Structure 1
Amino acid sequence: MAENVSSPSTPLARAERFVWLTARVLEQRLFEYHFLGGGADPVETALAAYRNDDDGFGHALEPDLRGPVSQPLHTAHALKVLDLIGRCDGRQVERICRYLTKISTPEGALPALHPSLRGYPAAPWIPVVDDPPSALLATGPVVGVLHRNEVWHAWLFRATDYCWAAVESMEETHPYEVEAAVAFLDGAPDRPRAAAAAQRLGRLVRDRRLVLLDPEQAADVPVAPGYAPGEHHLAYDFAPAPGSLARDWFTDEEMERALDHLVALQEEDGGWPVNWRVWAPGTALESRPMVTLRALLTLRAYGRPL
């Protein structure tokens, strides 16, 4: 084990062993970057294996979407990786924006799924249609990360307008869409407008009981329609770092209770579990290291000992 992991009994040491046992090369390199002093270049090299000639990303970068073809959700994931390592700029991002332009809906936004996925394995709850609608789920995180990195590209103009309209008119929603809205608002350049929209969204989340505030009361809080049993979202899912606008939705006590729960979720093998519906063995195997990295980064962001 690495020298800066003091004991195999620490959460970080247990997670490190889990990563070496189960993770894809990309997640191994991300773990090295975040926790072992690794460089950004190896992460970019690992990510490049998922890039296609159309400048999008595919090859099951998001494990629930299989097959080689580029997809908006894969490409959003790639941008998040580049953001995490401080490389969300330059010609690579310009090429990604060209891909986004090519696959956009008439509104200038992104669909959750591009029809090119048809014929490849995908989670059964993900419909593939010929003319997919715009989706905040795909568009919000992409627009947010590009704005946060001060990327300029013509694609952003209409996509940003779409996100504002979707977020500010949101009434019926579900937790993953709320996460996408927060990702947009956390990067949106109009900070007063973003703060006002986030405040309204936070009230909606609490009023509609889209967040599990007390993990011990999970049995009394229904999950969103179509979600798996136990697929609750907690405060840290909406606010994975203290600087998120969603952090103000929760009291200190509520956030600490959620973080205590996150710590307790680490399993005996050192990894964190997935709580969504598993439809194929490989998807869970590939997803757990991603969930584990996210848990570690969240705990570190809030100052929890690792």
Structure 2
Amino acid sequence: MLRAAVAALAGAALLLLAPIATSPARAVAEPGCDFVDQQGRCRFRVESPGSPGGPSAPSAPGGGGSDVVRVCTDWKDDVIDCVNELGTWSDARGCYMELADPQPPFEHAVWDGRTDGVVYRCTLPNPGTSSWWTVTVWLPTAQPGPAPRELAEQAIAEMQFRAGQIGMSPAVDAPSVVGLPTWLWIADPDEHTVGPITRSATAGAVTVTATGSLEKVVWDMGDGDPVTCDGPGTVYDPAVGGEGSPTCGFTYGRSSANQPGLAYPVTATSHWVVEWAGGGQAGTIRLHLTSTAEVRVAEIQTLVTRG
């Protein structure tokens, strides 16, 4: 009842703040993504080691400093899996490489009279079609398989993280109000937006398992200091009236009448921690994904008259 009354008063207040009444508040926004691959999966940034919470610049796989999840592309520059049932993608050869097991006999033409080295199956995309074809290639030495860290990145790619949609109260069809507690939460909670989530990747005899957990959500409300919440927040319950959220909330101190677009830009950045282990190694990878919204905030004016 309290929020309904406040919303009604806010509607009346908008008559005094006419520019704010041009459109309803947008309290649920579609998430964004730095890069989406051909399968519609979000390719996200990995934070710099030793700099938790900060964005990183991409660098080549295996390079120093910051790094990103490896992205493999075929001859058409379409994004493909770096590791799958065909083997491990080789950028140099443009095919999936897998050690032939068993090795063909020395009489096979691929050996060309040699008796040393190893034979690999090289599976290539067939240009112009969706099919693949396989050839055998001889190499002087066995090629190293993907490092456990690379397999961890493949497992993370299979998690298909999404930036969660922004949920807020007051509802989308009413502006927020100065002095009224605003509840904040992730509106589409599942394993891809709030976790936990576990995936594995295997190459040969090595399996790496990674588990991602949502560490925190940092909300920038566009008016004041960011709000840090230790989880996805709590969905607003009308039964509590005008009380604040028990887990994640904010109270606006000024209207948005003077803001560009007459609204505050709101961002919700989900910070993830992914723990992985396998192949005799273990590590931690930190990720962050951000959603945005625009929120209009009204201020209720009190008129005192002599009666």
- Say which structure is richer in helix: 1
The structure where strand makes up a greater share of residues is 2
TM-score, reference length from structure 1: 0.21
Relative contact order (alpha carbons < 8 A, sep ≥ 6): 1 or 2 greater?
A: 2
TM-score by length of 2: 0.21
